Structure 1
C-alpha cells in the first residue's frame, strides 16, 4: 500500500475518500431517482479525484523522483476523460459548474505547489470543490445537469454536508497537530456554532427538517468536548479513534439530511 501511495496510485489522505464519495451520493439520494448517467459521473469523478491526488503528489515530490508518479497521472487522466467527455457530450450544461469548480481546484493545487498543502485554505478549497459534486449529481439525476435544476432543499442539504467536512479541518487539527493550542478548539467550536445557526435558519424557513439542526447542535458540542479531552488526558485521542468518530458523524448527518 505504501508503495502504491508513493507512486500516486492511491491517495495517502485516508479521510479524503469519504469526502470524495459521500457528497455526490447525497445529491443522488436526494433526487430519489436512478439515472445511469449519474453512475457515469461517479466513475469520472472518482478517476478525476485519483488524478488530482497524483498531481498534488507530483507537485510536492522532488524532481528526481517525479517520474515514478507520471504513469498514475496518465492512467487516471485517461480513465477520467473517457466517461467525462462522454457525459459532457450528452449534457453540455454541466460545463456551467466549471465556473466554480475550476477556481477551487486550481487554488488547492497552487497552495500545494507553494508548500501549504496542510493549510486551512488548501483543505477548504479541496473540500468545497468536492462538495459541488452533490448538487451536480442532483441536477444530473433530475434534469439536464445545469445549476438551475437544483432545488432549494438540495442546495441546503448539500451545503450543510459540505460545511461539516470543512469544519473537520480545524477540529482534527485541534486534536493532533494543534492539540496544545486551545485556539484551534475555540475556532472549531465557533465555526460549528455559526453553522448551527445557519442550519437552524434553513429549518425555520422550510429548506430542511429539524433533524440536521439537532445533529449540528451535537456536532458543536463535540467540537469543544473532544479537543478538550485530547488536550487534558495523559494520552491524547488516537488518530484512528478520531477518524472513525468523524466517519460516524458524517454517516449520521448523511441520513438525517435525507429526512423530508
Structure 2
C-alpha cells in the first residue's frame, strides 16, 4: 500500500497554525505591526499625559484614535520602505486605508485646536529620522529605536495640553513635562537592556551601557524630586529599575539559553505599570 502523506494544516504552511498564518499575512501586507512591544509604547504615553491632567476630554479621545491610526500608518510606511520594489504593491491598500483613517480625526483636531501644529516641531524631525534610518537598513539600531520612541512620547504632553487647555505646549505643567520625559527615558532604556539579554548577552558592553544609562536616569529623577517636580516613589522605582538593568542581563548570561522574549516582555510590562503608577503620585 502507498503511504499517505499528511496534508499541511489549512490556511498556511505546514506546521503553522491557521491563526498564526493569518497574523503573519496581515503583518506582511502592512495591516498590523510585527513589533508587539511597540503597541504599549504607542498607547501609554498619551494615556499618561491624559491621566496627569485629571480631566475628561473628548479631544483626547479623538487624539487617541488619530494616534492609533498614525502608528499603524507609520508601521506600514516603514514596511513599504524596506520591502523590495516588486512587492511593495501589496502594502499600498494598508497605506491608503491608514492614511485616510489618520487624516479624518487628525484634520478635525487641527481645525478645532490649531495650536497643535507647534508639536510638529518635535514630532516631525524625530519620525523622519526614524524613517530615514529604516530606509538605510538600520531599523534595529539604537538611534532608530530611540527616535521612534521619542516621537511617540511626544503624545504624552500633547494629551496633557489638550485635556488642560487648547493644545499648546505652553499649557503643559512642569510636573507633566518631567513625568512624560521620565517615562520616555524608561522606554529608551529598554532598547539596550533587551539587547543585553538576547542578541548582545555575550557582549558585556551592552549590560554596562544599560546599567550606566539607568543610573544616569536615576540621578536625573532624583534632581527632579529635589525640585519637587516628581514624587520620591518615582526615584525609588528608578533605583529598582537600575538594579534590574544589572541583574537580568547577568542572569541571562549565566544561563545556557538566554531568557525568553516572552518572559522579558512580561517582566517589562510589570516594571512599566510600576513606573506609570509612581508618576501619577503627587
Q: TM-score range by the shorter chain?
A: over 0.9
43, 62, 65: which one aligns with 1:21: 43
TM-score, normalised on structure 1? 0.99
Any runs of at least 4 consecutive aligned residues in structure 1 with deviations exceeding 3 A, and if so which? none
Residue in 1 that maps onto 2:132: 110
What is the number of residues matched between the two proteins?
260
Query: Are 2:264 and 1:242 equivalent residues in the alignment?
Result: yes
Deviations 1:62-100 (A, max 9, x none): 111111011001100000000000000000000000001
Map 1:1-260 → 2, pairs under 5 A: 1-260=23-282
- Secondary structure at 1:15 match in 2: helix
Q: Distance in 1 between matches of 2:88 and 2:274?
A: 40
Deviations 1:80-137 (A, max 9, x none): 0000000000000000000011000000000000000000000000000000100000
Q: Distance in 2 between matches of 1:85 and 1:108?
A: 24
Tell me, which stretches of 5 or more residues in structure 2 are unaligned?
1-22
Q: Distance in 1 between matches of 2:110 and 2:224?
A: 33
- Secondary structure at 1:128 match in 2: helix
TM-score, normalised on structure 2? 0.92
Tell me, which stretches of 5 or more residues in structure 1 are unaligned?
none
Mark the structure with the bigger radius of gyration.
Answer: 2
Q: Distance in 2 between matches of 1:191 and 1:235?
A: 25
Of structures 1 and 2, the one scoring higher in RCO (CA 8 A, sep 6+) is 1
